[in-house]
Structure 1
Amino acid sequence: MPIIIAGVKIPDSSMAKAATELVRDTETDLLYHHSRRVFLFGALTGDRKGLSYDAELLYIGAMFHDMGLMDSHASETERFEVDGANAAREFLSAYDISERDVDDVWDSIALHTTPGIPQYKRPTVALVTAGVEMDVLGIGYDDFTDEQREEVCACHPRGLKFKHGILSSFCMGTIRKPETTFGNVKADVLSKMDPTYRRVDFADLILQSMWES
């Protein structure tokens, strides 16, 4: 695997290498390659926008952002994004990382499926979501050159069925705790893929609350 992909240097510190090994051993091939693409697209976005960001923190956020989809890191009650954020926090506790930087990594993972907020946060948070949105939704697709997209995907292939594969991953990571999809985009995933799922309606919660008026 090349050290530099599409002009972006992959972090190679002991912490970054340990994160890569952990994610490679824990996640599916689809999620591992997706996570690396998220880092690369996030870094390219930061470079294009002239943002000053910590590549290692961005890398950890990108690599752990879907860790909560895996059974080994999934809680019974938390959103998978929170599970992934907690896994990253635990991992970072073994290294000399400031609490503010740990919080940024945590937020970058916990907020990556909450549109409209991350872009106003510090670069680690904003760029993890930018990378996710590019790789999953194609947001900002034309902001990258053909060469950048092709090199990223040559090193970390999407495969022919990535769109369906990522939806299946989201589904399997949430189907056992459907209550965690309330108020976030995973409700759309279960609505499409689980015939037994019933979406909680926010307006109904207000109207059916214990208050008389």
Structure 2
Amino acid sequence: MRLPAFTAPDTPAARAARDLAAEYHSPSLLNHVTRSWLWAEAFAAVEGRTGYDRELVYVSAMLHDIGIVTAFDNHTLAYEDAGGHVGVALTAGAGWPQARRTRVHEVIVRHNWPSVDPAMDVEGYLLEIATALDISGARADVLPEPFMREVLAAYPRLALGAEFTACVTDQAERKPDTSARRLVDGGVARKLRENPLEGLGGSGVES
């Protein structure tokens, strides 16, 4: 398993999602969403999953945390719900039918579920386990270590721990009935600090 084997979908929605993420995310968050897509694809490969919607996974990964960005922060909705609506708007502009636009919202929302049944939503499952790896270090022993090192060298973690902790803590304080509160109470700051990915050479130095 090597990094060049994974290429982003070359579609209007995928390109627009990447452009939006690059415009509004910090370098740390942009690397996080990119790694999340790569981890999702890698988990699919390791588990032998085929036939899933790769474009949907990519668009959802690129936009899954955009709801914590100031420009898209909703004062009442959970950040994943707000991000899902950004995904709906973007894919509507790309010509996706309504049912598939609904799917991008579902996948983004479900990335923050404690778990997703792949029999119900394989794309949601892949994004959930991918983001859990990047934030909490869950299933860090499943993917090949050389591949993880390669991804982290290309897309280092930079200041993800401090940035994500600050953003989610702010969300939890302002919107205590949302999943952000569960993440904070569940020790997301500690999980980020203790994530085994931090020891694989992926910290980098943010300029």
Q: TM over 0.5: same fold?
A: yes
Does the CA-based 8 Å contact 2:46-2:143 persist in structure 1?
A: no
In structure 2, relative to structure 1, the CA distance for the partners of 1:181 and 1:137 (3 Å cut) is closer
Alignment-derived partner of residue 53 in structure 2? 54
Alignment-derived partner of residue 112 in structure 1? 111
Correspondence 1:1-213 to 2 at 5 A: 5=3, 7-51=5-49, 52-159=51-158, 161-181=159-179, 184-188=182-186
**Residue deviations 1:147-193 (CA, integer Å, cap 9, x gap):** 2101111111113x43333212212344333343487324446999x
Q: In terms of Rg, which structure is larger?
A: 1
In structure 2, relative to structure 1, the CA distance for the partners of 1:67 and 1:14 (3 Å cut) is same
Count of residue correspondences: 188
Does the CA-based 8 Å contact 2:28-2:160 persist in structure 1?
A: yes
Does the CA-based 8 Å contact 2:161-2:189 persist in structure 1?
A: no
RMSD: 2.4
Alignment-derived partner of residue 209 in structure 1? none
Which SS does the other structure have where 2:174 is aligned? coil
Equivalent residue letter for 1:62 = A
Gaps of 5+ in 1: 193-213
In structure 2, relative to structure 1, the CA distance for the partners of 1:103 and 1:7 (3 Å cut) is same
Gaps of 5+ in 2: 191-207
Inter-partner Cα distance in structure 2 for 1:92 and 1:165: 28
For normalisation by structure 2, the TM-score amounts to 0.81
Stretch moving more, 110-119 or 173-182: 173-182
The offset of 1:107, in angstroms, is 1.2
In structure 2, relative to structure 1, the CA distance for the partners of 1:101 and 1:47 (3 Å cut) is farther
The offset of 1:106, in angstroms, is 0.9
Inter-partner Cα distance in structure 2 for 1:186 and 1:93: 33
Does the CA-based 8 Å contact 2:63-2:87 persist in structure 1?
A: yes
In structure 2, relative to structure 1, the CA distance for the partners of 1:190 and 1:156 (3 Å cut) is closer
Alignment-derived partner of residue 204 in structure 2? none
For normalisation by structure 1, the TM-score amounts to 0.79
In structure 2, relative to structure 1, the CA distance for the partners of 1:119 and 1:136 (3 Å cut) is farther
Does the CA-based 8 Å contact 1:64-1:87 persist in structure 2?
A: yes
Does the CA-based 8 Å contact 1:36-1:62 persist in structure 2?
A: yes
Alignment-derived partner of residue 204 in structure 1? none
The offset of 1:126, in angstroms, is 1.0
Inter-partner Cα distance in structure 2 for 1:182 and 1:158: 21
Instruction: State the identity as a percent.
Output: 22
Does the CA-based 8 Å contact 1:69-1:169 persist in structure 2?
A: yes
Does the CA-based 8 Å contact 1:6-1:148 persist in structure 2?
A: no
Inter-partner Cα distance in structure 2 for 1:129 and 1:24: 21
